[in-house]
Structure formats: structure tokens, C-alpha cells
Structure 1
Amino acid sequence: MALSLRLVLVAGLWSLVTFIIAGGVLVTLFQQSNIQALDERLDVHMTTLIGAIARDMPGKPERPSNLGEARFDLPLSGWYWTVRNADDPRDVVFDSLSLFGDRLDLIDTSREMPKRFYTTGPAGMELRVMWDTIGFSDGTTYLIAVAGSTSEVDERTTSFAWLAALTLGILGAGLIAAIILQVRYGLLPVTHLQKSLAAVRRGDAEVIDEDLPRELKPLAEELNALVKSNQEIVERSRTHVGNLAHGLKTPLSVILNEARAEDTRFARKVEEQAGLMQGQISHYLERARMAAQRRVIGVSCEVAPVLTRLTRVMEKIYREKNITITTDLPATLRFRGEQPDLEEVAGNLIDNACKWCDRNVAVRCEFVEMEGSSRDTIHLIVEDDGPGLTKTERQSALSRGRRLDESVPGSGLGLSIIVDLVGVYGGSFELEESELGGLKALVVLPGLKS
């Protein structure tokens, strides 16, 4: 997962959790505020009701009226009051007309119960009830209760919850957008460092740009030091390889000359073995050179110009065969290695195809993107319409010095050299049947798109 995506996801999740908690707290506070307002209204009605009863005392009170709330007179309106005998709460003295013959369900007031509670009223409404017992001077005691529907509170709370969710949602979207911009802007130096490093890897630059923020500048400096150290190691390796080649060349030449001067069995054996030594030394010195080149950071070359030049040369060399060489070489492909190595591989493949074809040779190159840009590859494919090889012959052809037809000039080292070179670069080399009827050579090498 990309670093920027991780940062945005973490910030987004944290913001989401924060907004959910904040929304819940706001809705709860709003609901509690509305319940408190409902309790205050009930308290006012309770005081008014007590005052109406107290006016008739002492003596038998009359039904209170005009308590300032018309809904007390509307049937099943959700607003109710009741006056009962405190000694026997089942004995109803007065009920509001809104109860419409029904009774207000009160809790057991003989116990220490809260003065405010919720109950289910007529028509299944949830009610908020406030009650108290009031004693008068004549010794009578009444239980007085006032109830109001919570539907208004619920509706207001629901409306506020939706409004809060919409507001917090818009705020959250704006915050996420700001986080994305912040992350993209904050990671621009990392993107710049990546591009600079890619330019070094492609060979377009020799050093990484160190014009970076304070946190990233030490990293760029260390990478440049690594590139420089790598180049120094490669140069020393090349120097040692060259010195070894020159140091062995003269003694071997002397041995060969001395052996050739004598026509004896021993001299011929010495000449034969010295020749083998010379071939082996040349081979492994070449492999050492290739390995040193492979470790150079930032070395690359364009594929199309190299292969186009090679096909033109082969058309001239084999003009007597009147060969047609078709190419498909994207201009954006680059080989992550040195140009002489690409020329060595492609030259051997195209030369071999021209040597064995009837009339047609096809050369193409494809880019294959792998997971991680450092493992991207190019596929070099060379095909011909010649006689081809059997599966056994294809396996044998990759052996060092193995020649399948002694009548055709050559040392037999071409394909094995390709195997060595490709192996040094961590690639692969395969021989398959071609759709043209002959042999198909497939080489996989490290590559990139420019």
C-alpha cells in the first residue's frame, strides 16, 4: 500500500471516529436539553395545577380549568394531569379531559421512587411524568401528577441528529480533502527524490539531487556516497581484470611460441593445453568484466538504435541470401546495462537467425512491467523461418562450444556467451519453436521505459 494512501486512510479513520463520537455527544446533549425543557414545562403546569386546587381550600376543591395548555382538554393529545387521594392512589379525584376516560399509569408511589419518570400512556405514547404529594391545612393530602408526550423531544432530536450528521459529513469531507492536499504536498520531496534516483538508474544523471528538505537531504547524500563507492569498486575491478589479462597474455604467448617451435609429442600437448588455458582465461576474464559492468549503478542504453544498427549490418553481411528482416522496436525501451553487452547478445542472436533462415527473420522487443519498478524487464525475441531444432537439439545448443553443424563456420561459443551474459544480468535465455517455422530465441533482460 502506498505511503500517501496509508496516511490518508489513518487520518480519515481517525477523523471518522472523532466525528462519530462528537456527533453522539452533541445529539445526547441536545436531547438532554430538550428533556430538561420538557421538565420545566411540566413543573410550571404542576405549580399552576396546585395553585388552582389551593384556591378552593379549605373545602372540597373543584375541577381545575384553564391551566394555560389547551391540549389538556383535547382527547388523547399526549398532555395529561390527574389528582388522586394520596392515601389511595387508585382513588381518582380529578382527571384531565384529555385522558378521555382512560387512566394515567403511575408507578408505586408508596416507595421511594423518582419524582420524574417515563411511562406508556394512552394510545401507546411514551410520556414523561412528574408527580408529588401536596398536603393542605385542612389535613387532606393529594397526589398530583402531570404528564407530557416525549414525541416532540424525539422529533427534534432526530431532526437535529440528521442536521448534525450532514454538517459533520461536510466538515469531514473538507477535512479529508485538506489531508489529501497536505499529504500530496508533504510527500513532493519524496517524489522528487524518487525521480532523481530513477534518473541515476537510467543513466540520465550521475548523482542524486540533494536540494531536498532537511529530513531527506542526509538520505540523498548517503545514496550519492553509495553510487560513488560503487563506481570506484567497479573501476578497481576493471583495472585488476585488465592487469591480469596483460600479465597472463605474455607468458602464455611465450609458451605457445616455444611449443610450436618443437615438433614433438610433448610440444604438441603443451601447445594444446596452453591454447585451452588461453581460451579459459579469456572466457572468465570476460565474465569478470561483465559482472563488474552489471554492478554499475545508473548504466543503461536505448534498445531501438542498437538493434536497428545490427539489423542493417546483418542485411549487408547476408545480402546474397536476400534476407528480409522485420523489426518491432519501441523507441521508449532501455536496457539496464552497458551497450556492448546488448550488442553482444543481440548480435549473436540475429547473426544466428540470418545464418540459418531461408528468407525471413523477425526481431522485436517488448516491455514487461513487474511488481516493483526495479524488476521491470524487456523481452528480446528473434525468430527465423529456417529448419529449426528439436527439443533435444535446443538443449544441446546452449552448451559451451557445442556446434550442431560443422559445415557452417563458427566457434560454437555464440549461444553460450549469451547464456553467460544473460546470467550475469539476472535474466534468462530460452529457445523455442517459432511461428515462422524455424527457431525462436527469447532473452529476458532488465529494462525500463524512458
Structure 2
Amino acid sequence: MARPLSLQARSLAAAGIALTAFLGLAFFALDQAFYDAAEGSLRERLQSYVFAYLAGSDTTRGGELLPPEYGPDPRFDRPAGSGLYAGIVGAKIRGAKDQVWRSPSAQDRNLPFGEELPQGAVRFRGPITTDQGDLFMLSQGVTWNTPSGGELQLTFHVAEDVNGLRRQVEIYRRTLLAWLGGLGVLLLLLLMAVLHWSLAPLRTLTRDLRRVEQGSQERLTGNYPVEVAGVTTGLNAFIDGERHRLGRYRNTLADLAHSLKTPLAVIRNQLESGSDPQQLRWTVLEQVGRMDEIVAYQLSRAATSGHSTFAAPLPVEPYAEEVVRSLEKIYVAKNILCEFDIDSQARFHGELGDLMEVLGNLLENAFKWAGHRVVLTVREIATRDKARPGLQILVEDDGPGIAEDKIEYVLQRGVRGDERVQGHGIGLSIVQDIVKAYRGELVVSRSEAMGGARFDARFRIH
């Protein structure tokens, strides 16, 4: 598969296309505006030539028109190739044949000067294709009052070839193309510099991630902008969670291996000592039972999946009901009443296995020691992260409770509050490990309302 373009390359390509389209449209618009302006200027110039011919003309006593001896521009008086032509069409024009007068530049040339216009009419045309090349022509019809009281109906024609206009447009286009091209290159270079500066935090993030992968850096510690800080915070939480999870797995395996050494050594010694078969049988059964307890404890400990940054929020109430239904079957003889005070909006932001472990161990402990009543309270608690509030799970019972001086002892792994009560003594330690993994705390005290134990587990309070 082809390697995808980088963000910088994508941005430059998109900006290049947009900039090319914009500059192309700007070139077309400016070129058209200049052409219209140049054509308008040409028309005004031809109009001024017509007015100059009108001002320079006169009439005789006989009512004949006397055109000016010299044109308003020297090019009208050149015999050939001047590019400026003038003509008058009408009646009684001295020196004209067939009632048509032409400037020296228009003599003996096939020009479209035969049209007659009514008084006041002005017509501008062009480019017109003629034998002399393409021309722009302005024609104006006038009525001339003679000294004898008569009128002459005349049409003045002035024409100019398009070469001058085309040269102006060509020069303007070259200049405009050079300027717009240079501006486009400059803008692209400026955009490259801006993109390089804007994407610098992403490059820093990439380098920091590479260092984390190589082990030379533990976390993402750069000073990132707001848009990237949220990503880096999530990644740091993810990295910390994975490190914690990996460390827990390693510790669990190491503890399991270490814990199994003693039972295995006892069994080996009994086998090597050649002791009585009956005694050997009971020793093996005793040590196998011990090993079973150790494995159960370590597996339960490994089951605590810990804090998960991207876990979906879980409602607490349905899972609490599931746990309580199971416990009511086990402790049916005690006839325990379990009351719920659960906020319907409360959510556990973590793994389902962790939620079930916490609810299961706390409620089972309460059912085990309660007299007749257990209360489960679940509430949301405020945290700095408004998007993911914290959670409080409070379990109280009406049992004998736990003495204040024994709370730390009970929370130790493998310790039971009463050795006569069946169990492995690891439930509360598992709860404590899970709560710590979620940056929370487990507080054990005496319930003022019910007199028994009170277990207050709070998640994401830091």
C-alpha cells in the first residue's frame, strides 16, 4: 500500500490547489478589468478625435464643408501604416469625391466609412476585420448649420488599429502573471513556514512517544498546546495504567511462584524421607489444599483489571441487583434484607470485572457479618474532570463491626476477621487494590446509623 501523505503535505496540497484556483480567477478578473478599461480609454480617445475634427472643420459661403488641414494626431496625416484613420460622409464636402472625405492616412484604403448616422447617434464597434487589419471604429452623426441657413447631414468616422491595445494588454498580462506567480510562491513558502511551526507540537509528541517506546522516557512531559494536551493526558493515563497492569501481573506471578515453594518443599521432604503412607497422604492433601488457596488468592488478585482510560461508563444498579440475588440464595438462612439507595445517574467508568469484584466482595462481607440488614448507597462525586465524575460505593451492615485498631490488619492480604469463618481473607485486599488502581481510596469505619461495619469506596478522587 502507498504510504499516506503527511498532514503537512496534505495541507500544502489543499492550499496549493485553492491558491492556484484563487490566483487564476484573480488573473482572469484583473485581465478582463484592464481590457475593459483600455477599451474604454480607446473609445474616449476616438471620441476626442471626432470632437477635434468637428472643432477644426468649417464651411464655405456656398455651404460646403471644409475639413481641417491637419488632423488632431500626426498619424492621421501620414500616407500609410499610421494606424489612425478618419473619414467624413455627407453632402457638399469640398475636395471630396462621391461626398466622402478621408484623412491622408485613409486615402486609397478599403475602410468601412460608408455608413451614415442620424444626428446625435454615436456608434462604437470593434474589433472589425478589414484589409488594414483589425480596427476599432467610432462613428457620430451631426447636423451642420451653414452660413446660408442650410444644414449639412454629416457622419464623422475615426478608426484605430488594435495593435496598440493588444500591446498594452500583453504587457499588462506578463506583468500581472509575474506578480501573481511571485505572490503565489511567496504565500506557499509562508504557508510552509506556518505549517511547520503549527505542527511542531505533533512532531514533539512523536519524538516523546518514540522515547517512551525505547524506554528512555517514562511519560509524555512536553509543554503541549491545549489542542494536544488532552491527547497527551489520555496517553499518559493509558501508559500509567498499562505499566501498573504489567507490574501487577509480574508481581502476581512472582508471588505465586514464591508462595508455592514452601508447599512443594514440604511434599518433596515427605517423599524423600520415606514416611508412613497414611501420614504422607494427609500431608499431601494438606499442602494441596494450601496450594489451592494460594492459587485462588493469586488468580483473584490478577483478576483486578485496574483503571481503564477509555472504558465505557457502566450503570451500577443492575449489577448490584445481580450480586444481591446471588448472595440472598447463599445466605437464605439468615434472611438478610438488602436496601438500595442508588443514584440512577451514577456510572462506573471502568471495567465490568472491577465493578463486579468491588460489589461482590463488599456485599458478601456485609452479608457474612450482618445480623439482618445491609444498605448499599451509590452516589456520584465531583472531580476535576467534569466529563467523568467520580463514584462512591458505600456498604453498611448491622453486624458486630470492626474494631478501629484491627482495620489495617483486616485489610491485609490473606487475613480473615475471624479464623472460624470460611474464606481466604483476600476479598477486602482485592477491593483495596482495585480502588487504588482507579486513583481512589477505601475507608473502613463503624456505621453510626446501623452500628456495624461501614465500607466507603471512592473512585477517581485525585
Could you tell me the TM-score, scaled by structure 2's length? 0.50
CA distance in 2, matches of 1:237, 1:9: 48
Partner in structure 2 of residue 316 of structure 1:
none
| Correspondences of 1:32-71 after superposition (within 5 Å) | 32-56=36-60, 59-71=63-75
CA distance in 2, matches of 1:208, 1:153: 66
| Correspondences of 1:407-418 after superposition (within 5 Å) | none
1:96 aligns with 2:103: yes
| Correspondences of 1:335-374 after superposition (within 5 Å) | none
Q: CA deviation at 1:121?
A: 5.2
Contact 1:76 1:100 in 2 (8 A): no
CA distance in 2, matches of 1:61, 1:4: 76
Contact 2:140 2:156 in 1 (8 A): yes
Q: 2:15 aligns with which of 11, 15, 20?
A: 11
Q: 1:224 aligns with which of 236, 243, 247?
A: 236
Q: CA deviation at 1:29?
A: 2.3
CA distance in 1, matches of 2:156, 2:129: 16
Q: 1:127 aligns with which of 135, 141, 144?
A: 135
| Correspondences of 1:286-365 after superposition (within 5 Å) | none
Q: CA deviation at 1:58?
A: 6.2
Contact 2:87 2:113 in 1 (8 A): no
Contact 1:130 1:146 in 2 (8 A): yes
Question: C-alpha offsets along residues 222-260 of structure 1, whole Å, 9 cap, x if unaligned?
Answer: 111110000111122223333444566666677777788
CA distance in 2, matches of 1:32, 1:150: 13
Q: 1:105 aligns with which of 102, 109, 112?
A: 112
C-alpha change, 1:210 and 1:5, in structure 2 (3 Å) is: same
CA distance in 2, matches of 1:238, 1:107: 108
Structure 1: runs of 5+ lacking an equivalent: 268-284, 293-450
Contact 1:128 1:147 in 2 (8 A): yes
Matched to 1:18, the amino acid is: F
Rg larger in structure: 2
Q: CA deviation at 1:106?
A: 5.6
CA distance in 2, matches of 1:56, 1:162: 52
Identity percentage of aligned residues: 22
Matched to 1:131, the amino acid is: S
Q: CA deviation at 1:139?
A: 3.4
Structure 2: runs of 5+ lacking an equivalent: 92-96, 281-297, 306-462
Question: C-alpha offsets along residues 58-94 of structure 1, whole Å, 9 cap, x if unaligned?
Answer: 61223432122121122242211121239xxx96511
Q: 2:185 aligns with which of 173, 181, 192?
A: 173
1:146 aligns with 2:151: no
Matched to 1:45, the amino acid is: Y
Structure showing greater relative contact order (alpha-carbon pairs closer than 8 Å, 6 or more residues apart): 1
- Cα RMSD for the two superposed structures: 3.8
Q: 1:158 aligns with which of 142, 147, 170?
A: 170
CA distance in 1, matches of 2:12, 2:54: 62
CA distance in 1, matches of 2:62, 2:267: 146
C-alpha change, 1:141 and 1:229, in structure 2 (3 Å) is: same
CA distance in 2, matches of 1:114, 1:139: 19
Q: CA deviation at 1:46?
A: 0.5
1:241 aligns with 2:256: no
Contact 1:57 1:136 in 2 (8 A): no
Partner in structure 2 of residue 83 of structure 1:
88
Q: 1:183 aligns with which of 170, 179, 195?
A: 195
Q: CA deviation at 1:124?
A: 4.4
CA distance in 2, matches of 1:140, 1:44: 21
Question: C-alpha offsets along residues 113-141 of structure 1, whole Å, 9 cap, x if unaligned?
Answer: 97111143544421111112112332331
Q: CA deviation at 1:43?
A: 0.8
CA distance in 2, matches of 1:130, 1:236: 97
1:25 aligns with 2:29: yes
The count of corresponding residues between Structure 1 and Structure 2 is 268
Contact 2:127 2:134 in 1 (8 A): yes
For the residue of structure 2 that corresponds to 1:115, the secondary structure is: strand
Partner in structure 1 of residue 144 of structure 2:
136
C-alpha change, 1:42 and 1:57, in structure 2 (3 Å) is: farther
Matched to 1:99, the amino acid is: A
CA distance in 2, matches of 1:223, 1:116: 74
CA distance in 1, matches of 2:235, 2:26: 47
CA distance in 1, matches of 2:90, 2:24: 49
Could you tell me the TM-score, scaled by structure 1's length? 0.52
Contact 2:117 2:155 in 1 (8 A): no
Q: CA deviation at 1:55?
A: 4.0
CA distance in 2, matches of 1:107, 1:238: 108
Question: C-alpha offsets along residues 302-324 of structure 1, whole Å, 9 cap, x if unaligned?
Answer: xxxxxxxxxxxxxxxxxxxxxxx
CA distance in 1, matches of 2:82, 2:129: 11
Q: Which moved more, 1:148-157 or 1:66-75?
A: 66-75
CA distance in 2, matches of 1:22, 1:211: 42
Contact 2:89 2:101 in 1 (8 A): yes
For the residue of structure 1 that corresponds to 2:226, the secondary structure is: coil
Q: CA deviation at 1:204?
A: 0.3
Matched to 1:104, the amino acid is: L
For the residue of structure 2 that corresponds to 1:51, the secondary structure is: helix
